[in-house]
Amino acid sequence: MKPSFEDLKSELKRQRIGLSVQRLKILAYLAEHLDHPTVDQIYTALITEIPSLSKTTVYNTLSVLQDAGLVRPLQIDEHETRYDIEIETHGHFKCASCGTIYNFSLDPNVMQKIDLPAFQIMDKTVYFKGICPDCLSNKK
């Protein structure tokens, strides 16, 4: 269930955020690549299309998109931040062998059961680590 780029675009418009070429390309890239790209990956992918692009702009844009609630940062093992288009709540699984980060859906009923009465919860993150099916079968 890919988020529609058009929806994301109109959300930017609604929030009166300028639709520069750079911002649109970065947003489009995120909408198409749901594999949690890093700043560097986004930059490297777009530098051919926008030769003048700078990493600062990628950082700036991601910050804007984050404030707008369109993308969310992902803090996984590494020291670099990965980014996710904001879609319905899902968990992440990182394979310790190949490094791939998978999405998986979270049963809302189960998630609701994890609750902290006196706390006001704004966000629930679930992150698993292990070996993915591909790497499991390769080991045989």
Partner DNA sequence: GTTCCTGCAAAAGCTTTGCAGAAGA
Partner DNA sequence: TCTTCTGCAAAGCTTTTGCAGGAAC
Q: Specify the residue, 6 or 115, whose C-beta has the smaller distance to a copy of itself.
A: 115
Question: For residue 53, which of 62, 42, 65 has the smallest C-alpha distance?
Answer: 42
Helix-helix angle 21-32:39-46, to 10 degrees: 110
Shortest distance in whole angstroms from residue 121 CB to a copy of itself: 4
Binding residues for DNA (CB under 7 A)? 17-18, 20-23, 38-40, 50, 52-57, 59-61, 63, 79-81
Q: Specify the residue, 80 or 134, whose C-beta has the smaller distance to DNA.
A: 80
Question: Side-chain half-sphere of 60: how many Cα atoms within 13 Å?
Answer: 11
Q: Which does 118 bind (CB under 5 to 8 A by kind): DNA, a copy of itself, none?
A: a copy of itself
Shortest distance in whole angstroms from residue 140 CB to DNA: 31
CB-based contact 83:59 (threshold 8 Å): no
